[in-house]
Amino acid sequence: MDAIRYIHAADLHLDTPFQGLVREAAQEGSLVRLMQEATFTALDRLFGHCEAEKPDFLVLAGDIYNQENHSVKAQLRLRDGCRRLQQAGIRVFLAHGNHDPLDSRLTTVDWPENVTIFGPEPERHLLERQGEPLALVHGISHASLREGRNLARFFSRDEHYDCFQLGVLHCTVEGEHKADRYAPCSLDDLRASGLDAWALGHVHERRELCRQPFVAYPGSTQGLHINESGPRGCLLVTATPTAAGWDCASRFLRLGPVQWEKLDISLEGVSHIDEVERRLCQRLESLADSVDPGCKGLVVRLALSGRTPLDTLLRDNATRTDLAERLFHFSTGAPGIWIKDMRIETRPLADMDEYRQREDILGQSLRLVQQMREEGDTLQRLGRTALEPLFGHSRLRRALAQPDDAEMRELLDEAERLCMDLLELR
């Protein structure tokens, strides 16, 4: 038996509008167009890689469309690409996920013959090479928006075929994403199927969960928000037969042209605003130098930290606007850099110990802050009381998530800075 090669992509979220971002970025036309087309550029690159690498087949493991009512644009662009692959003799296997379940409103698209769309019940499709079985591809689509079934348990190896067997599934492997329960399953469920490999979708971070069977999430093809940073793309998997089963190795291929990044910049001891500008420019330049040529745009969150006498100045909105304006020329570079926002997490240079010893209300407040920092219980007790009007409110309670420990600590830091700003006589 020969090696088998397939390209595995998932979570394409075609036609994601990036509305909020596009509204904010109104001043820079080319970046806006880049964003609006980003998920489609990723798709075109995916088909380009298929044509160049000539894998045996392509797998799309769910959340192909961003919305339930898949846009006509997205469907037709996908169909165009599948036609290209038909010309190249490449089969396409497509499963639907929680963002694009089967019961959602589908426009009638006449898919070319090389495309297989999995239905709501498990299916198996045989691929042959020169009349010999090459691979058996198992798959299923989410039937509805809230697919709560353990779909992995529907899969089992077909012993009639002595060939590579792959499962295609949009699911949450337990321990990966605690909060959501879309088609949950465990790694043991996947192993129990007896399949040689799994091409999964749903988790937007690229992750290899197991070597044998080979279980992987390729991650989103284009980062969708600031928490999906770094290059995004698909996996080119090569499965080689060995005495002990199939040995799989994957290679990452970048697809999305827009990359999200968070830059933490320390201003510890910096006392001149020129130096702030210099550091920001330097970091943005080295970020731009570090990315591969497939990155055409960077959307960046800047977080400024450290103890600096400029703390108060930096907290002034006008300062942030002025600094952002000074960085605007980066937007026309290659790649173009757009500053999404600037977070000020700096602290004043003051000698906090000295302040804490004062007998006035500022000293008392700062001592209390320190106590809350050291004793988690006090922070929880006093903090929860302070937040009670929000979380006790019948309607707000449903819209807000309770802050976790890290968020409570951030709130405490913020409160400390407010005390310094409001209670210190200047």
Q: How far is the CB of 66 from Mn ion (least distance, A)?
A: 9
Q: How far is the CB of 173 from Mn ion (least distance, A)?
A: 14
| Residues numbered 62-121 forming contacts with Mn ion, rule: CB under 5 A | 63
Name the segment binding Mn ion (CB under 5 A); options: 6-14, 29-37, 120-128, 182-190: 6-14
- CA atoms of 284 and 287, how far apart (whole Å): 5
Q: How far is the CB of 21 from Mn ion (least distance, A)?
A: 18
- CA atoms of 53 and 131, how far apart (whole Å): 22
Strands 258-266 and 297-307: parallel
Write out the two tokens for 188.
Answer: 């043991």
Q: How far is the CB of 224 from Mn ion (least distance, A)?
A: 8
Amino acid identity at 53:
E
Task: Compose the 44-73 pattern: x for residues touching Mn ion by CB under 5 A, - for all others.
Answer: -------------------x----------
Size of the site for Mn ion (CB under 5 A): 2
Q: How far is the CB of 63 from Mn ion (least distance, A)?
A: 3
Residue closer to Mn ion, measured from CB, 61 or 85:
61
Residue closer to Mn ion, measured from CB, 56 or 63:
63
Q: Does 147 bind Mn ion (CB under 5 A)?
A: no
Q: How far is the CB of 101 from Mn ion (least distance, A)?
A: 12
Q: Does 11 bind Mn ion (CB under 5 A)?
A: yes
| 3 state DSSP class of 289 | helix
The upper half-sphere exposure of residue 151, i.e. CA atoms within 13 Å in the direction of its Cβ, equals 33
Q: What is the DSSP track for 97-163?
A: -SSS-TTS--------TTEEE--SS-EEEEEEETTEEEEEEEE---SSSS--S-GGGG----TT--S
The CA–CA distances, whole Å, from 80 to 38, 69, 422 equal: 17, 19, 61
Q: How far is the CB of 195 from Mn ion (least distance, A)?
A: 22
Q: Which helix (H) or strand (E) holds 54?
A: none
Strands of 297-307's sheet in order across: 258-266, 297-307, 336-347
- CB contact at 8 A, 196 and 6: no
Residue closer to Mn ion, measured from CB, 230 or 245:
230
Residue closer to Mn ion, measured from CB, 11 or 15:
11
Name the segment binding Mn ion (CB under 5 A); options: 5-13, 81-89, 181-189, 304-312: 5-13
Residue closer to Mn ion, measured from CB, 148 or 333:
148
CB atoms within 10 A of CB 233: 22
Task: Compose the 159-178 pattern: x for residues touching Mn ion by CB under 5 A, - for all others.
Answer: --------------------
Residue closer to Mn ion, measured from CB, 81 or 223:
223
Residue nearest to Mn ion (CB): 63
Write out the two tokens for 421.
Answer: 């700003």
Residue closer to Mn ion, measured from CB, 94 or 239:
94
Strands 214-217 and 197-201: parallel
CB atoms within 10 A of CB 303: 15
Q: How far is the CB of 79 from Mn ion (least distance, A)?
A: 21
Residue closer to Mn ion, measured from CB, 90 or 216:
216
Residues lying near Mn ion in the complex (CB under 5 A) are found at: 11, 63
